[in-house]
């Protein structure tokens, strides 16, 4: 078969395929657009589908749009930190009524944009800006981490629990502080001696993966803890934390507590290993703030997510519910009430 014939045949087949797929009916012309209240989000370098902060803020905007058709959410992606400034000013110049900035590193750029545009309403997630047109949203995760520590201590069969962080920075160590305090509280209440590996709240020293992406680092830290007989692990290390359930999978009785989001949604495949998750409830606060702004009520000041306002909390126990003794679950609920009414205070040097 000559080359020309072969080419012709190939083209014919391709044309046929195109013809078949292209035979649909033309739809009627119609135009329906979303609302006209533009709620714009500026992602940090993680992007909108990072299974973390950005994704939950985007979720919140979409929730708001779903319940109120006048809100039209959109986002601008930052590929690098140098993109924060132009993205913020682009959001302002395209007429966004609400600009939601995500991530602490964007704080300075957002403050500058808010000062330059006093008529635009800004929401700063995970950073604090003291300006009348900015609403700052932060989370005191030490509180639910305390509950998780208590729960871990009560569930542990070996009397050892462990935690490790991605990097030694306050947003990470706040979890580890709360966790260690929760364990200490259990020891006092029950006269027990459950040990915490990987973090010492007094010296503020502990184990770190030195990465938020390196899963093998998370895995080897976890294996290390498991070999020292720890059976409940709290990894606070972004994607590197995925190394923990992957290492725990092969060990009988090993459990993992996820952070930021419900582990059974963020990393479904490991749901059977997740005792619970220390959650930040970002979507509701973002959705409410935007919905109120659309109604003409701009929130001012700041929001600190606590157990009391449901800004933070523990996720359901999911598949491991049977492993948690009934008494313990009640004690955790009671502790939650005590933290809310102020009988117990959870202190971390990193609390907002």
Partner 1 sequence: MTEPKPAEKPEPDDTAPVTPAPETAPERPAEEPADQERRPGFGSLFLRYVTTANTVMVTLYSFLLAMVIGAVLIIVSDPAVRGTFTYFFSRPTDALSASWTAVSDAYAGLFAGAIVNFTTLAEFQAGEATIGRLLSPISETLTYAAPLILAGLAVGLAFQAGLFNIGAQGQVIMGTVGAALIGFGLHLPAYLHLPLALLGGAIAGGLFGAIPGVLKAWSGAHEVITSIMLNYVALSALGWIITNEFVKDPDPNKQYAISKPADESSLLPRLAGMLGIDAPGLRANLGIIVAIAAAALVAWLLAKSTLGFRMRAVGLNAHASRTAGMSVPNTYITSMGGAGALAGLAGATLVLGISPHALTHGVAGEVGFDGITVALLGRAKPWGVVAAGLLFGALRAGANTMQSTLPLDMVTLLQALIVIFIAAPALVKAMLHLKVPAGGLATTTAKGW
Binding string to partner 1 for residues 165 to 184, with x set by CB under 8 A, is what? --xxxxx--x----------
CB of 27 to partner 1, least distance (A): 7
Using rule CB under 8 A, residue 89 touches partner 1: yes
Using rule CB under 8 A, residue 25 touches partner 1: yes
CA nearest to 275, candidates 283, 266, 264 = 264
Q: Which of 80, 203, 227, 322 touches partner 1 by CB under 8 A?
A: 80
Using rule CB under 8 A, residue 76 touches partner 1: yes
- How many helices (H) and strands (E) the chain has is answered by 11, 14
Task: Please give the Cα distance from 275 to 268 (Å, whole number).
Answer: 13
Binding string to partner 1 for residues 182 to 211, with x set by CB under 8 A, is what? ----------------------------x-
Using rule CB under 8 A, residue 21 touches partner 1: yes
Rounded to an integer, what is the distance from CA 223 to the centroid of its chain? Answer: 25
Q: Tell me the HSE value of 13 on the side-chain side, using a 13 A CA sphere.
A: 5
Q: Which of 54, 56, 107, 215 touches partner 1 by CB under 8 A?
A: 107
* Secondary structure of residue 103 in the 3-state scheme: coil
Specify the residue, 170 or 253, whose C-beta has the smaller distance to partner 1. 170
* Secondary structure of residue 131 in the 3-state scheme: coil
Tokens for 140? Answer: 């005191």
Sheet containing strand 121-125, edge to edge, reads 71-76, 37-42, 98-102, 121-125, 134-139, 301-305
Task: Please give the size of the binding site for partner 1, defined by CB under 8 A.
Answer: 46
Q: Which of 59, 62, 128, 195 touches partner 1 by CB under 8 A?
A: 128
Positions 273 through 292 that interact with partner 1 (CB under 8 A):
none
Task: Please give the Cα distance from 63 to 54 (Å, whole number).
Answer: 14
Using rule CB under 8 A, residue 250 touches partner 1: no
Q: Which of 94, 310, 316, 323 touches partner 1 by CB under 8 A?
A: 94
Positions 34 through 63 that interact with partner 1 (CB under 8 A):
45
Specify the residue, 41 or 183, whose C-beta has the smaller distance to partner 1. 41
Which stretch, 20-28, 222-230, 288-296, 308-316, contacts partner 1 (CB under 8 A)?
Answer: 20-28
| Strand boundaries in 5-159, DSSP class E | 37-42, 71-76, 98-102, 121-125, 134-139
Task: Please give the Cα distance from 147 to 178 (Å, whole number).
Answer: 8
Q: How does DSSP assign 285-347, residue by residue?
A: HHHHHHHHHHTT----EEEEE-TTTTSEEEPP-GGGGGGS-HHHHHHHHHHHHHHHHTSS---
Using rule CB under 8 A, residue 103 touches partner 1: yes
Specify the residue, 53 or 270, whose C-beta has the smaller distance to partner 1. 53
- Contact residues: partner 1, CB under 8 A: 18-19, 21-27, 45, 74, 76-77, 79-87, 89-90, 93-94, 103-105, 107-109, 112, 116, 126-128, 167-171, 174, 210, 350, 352
């Amino acid at each position: 078969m000559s080359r020309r014939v072969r080419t012709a045949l190939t083209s014919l087949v391709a044309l046929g395929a195109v013809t078949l797929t292209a035979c649909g009916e033309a739809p009627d012309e119609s135009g329906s657009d979303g609302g006209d209240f533009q709620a714009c989000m500026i992602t940090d370098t993680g992007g909108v589908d990072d299974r973390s902060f950005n994704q939950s803020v985007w979720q919140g905007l979409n929730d708001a749009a779903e319940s109120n058709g006048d809100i039209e959410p959109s986002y601008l992606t930052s590929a690098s930190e140098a993109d924060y400034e132009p993205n913020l000013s682009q959001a302002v110049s395209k007429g966004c009524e609400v600009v939601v900035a995500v991530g602490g590193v964007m704080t300075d750029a957002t403050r500058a944009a808010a000062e330059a545009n006093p008529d635009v309403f800004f929401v700063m997630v995970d950073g604090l800006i003291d300006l009348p047109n900015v609403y700052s949203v932060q989370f005191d995760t030490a509180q639910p981490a305390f509950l998780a520590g208590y729960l871990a201590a009560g569930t542990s069969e070996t009397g050892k629990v462990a935690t490790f962080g991605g990097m030694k920075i306050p947003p990470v160590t706040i979890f580890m502080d709360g966790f260690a305090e929760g364990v200490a509280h259990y020891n006092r209440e029950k006269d027990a001696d459950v040990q915490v590996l990987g973090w010492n709240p007094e010296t503020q020293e502990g184990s770190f993966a030195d990465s938020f992406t390196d899963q093998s680092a998370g895995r080897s830290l976890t294996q290390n803890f498991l070999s020292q007989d720890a059976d409940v692990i709290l990894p606070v290390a972004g994607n590197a934390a995925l190394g923990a359930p992957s290492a725990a999978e092969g060990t009988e009785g090993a459990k993992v507590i996820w952070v930021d989001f419900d582990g059974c949604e963020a990393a479904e495949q490991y749901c059977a290993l997740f005792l619970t998750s220390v959650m930040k409830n970002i979507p509701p606060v973002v959705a409410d703030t935007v919905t109120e702004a659309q109604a003409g009520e701009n929130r001012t000041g700041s929001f600190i997510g606590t157990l009391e306002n449901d800004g933070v909390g523990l996720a359901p126990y999911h598949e491991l519910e049977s492993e948690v003794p009934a008494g313990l679950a009640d004690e955790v609920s009671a502790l939650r009430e005590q933290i809310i009414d102020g009988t117990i205070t959870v202190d971390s040097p990193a609390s907002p």
